[in-house]
Amino acid sequence: MPDLSPAASDPFAQFHAWLAEAWVQEPEDANAMTLATATPDGTPAARIVLLKGADERGFVFYTNVESRKGEELAANTCAALLFHWKPLGRQVRIEGRVERVTDAEADAYFATRPRISRLGAWASDQSRALAGRADLERRLAEYEAKYPGEDIPRPPHWSGFRVVPERFEFWQNMPYRLHDRTVYARAAGVGWTVGRLFP
């Protein structure tokens, strides 16, 4: 039976506690999250991305800003995240506005990526039509020749986004679908309000 003690007053503390448990159960991809975006007219899209930073400022992921998700976030800065940790029977939903990370943050993270991943950021016109795999491999080879060592600059079209939460929901599976749902909502001048929802 999961622990249903009173929720932490800080949703970030609650998230980090759950994430730490998730890493034990899912050491390969506990940081995988669904990112949902929408066009200005409300057409939704969702895909899996990897969480690369989480603190009280928000939740960070990196991408080509000219990709479909990048263009949608530029036009509509509202987004939602979903973490699903099946072995723990848990989900975390996060909703908020999105902002770009600083160039210094993007540079620092880009430098930690494997060399081929950094070259791939140059070679890939992410989300654009690709005639064949050979075209991608040719472009990758061109950038390998251009940047033969480890000194590979971050492309101007590659950066990060931070989802600044306005709402969290922590969902815990329970028998007979009588699940436990705890919601945190940001309230101006108050901090976070905490409540529960019917399953």
Q: Which residue has the tokens 């730490």?
A: 20
Whether 129 contacts 52, CB under 8 Å: no
What's the 3-state SS for 43-95? CEEEEEEECCEEECCEEEEEEECCCHHHHHHHHCCEEEEEEEEHHHCEEEEEE
Name the helix (H) or strand (E) containing 96. Answer: strand 90-100
Token pair 């939903």: residue? 93
Neighbouring C-alpha atoms within 13 Å toward the C-beta of 24:
6
One-letter amino acid of 151:
D
Residues 6+ positions from 46 with CB-CB distance below 8 Å: 34, 35, 36, 37
**CA gap 161, 125 in Å, rounded:** 18
**Active site residues per annotation:** 177
Q: Say if CB 197 and CB 183 are below 8 A apart.
A: yes
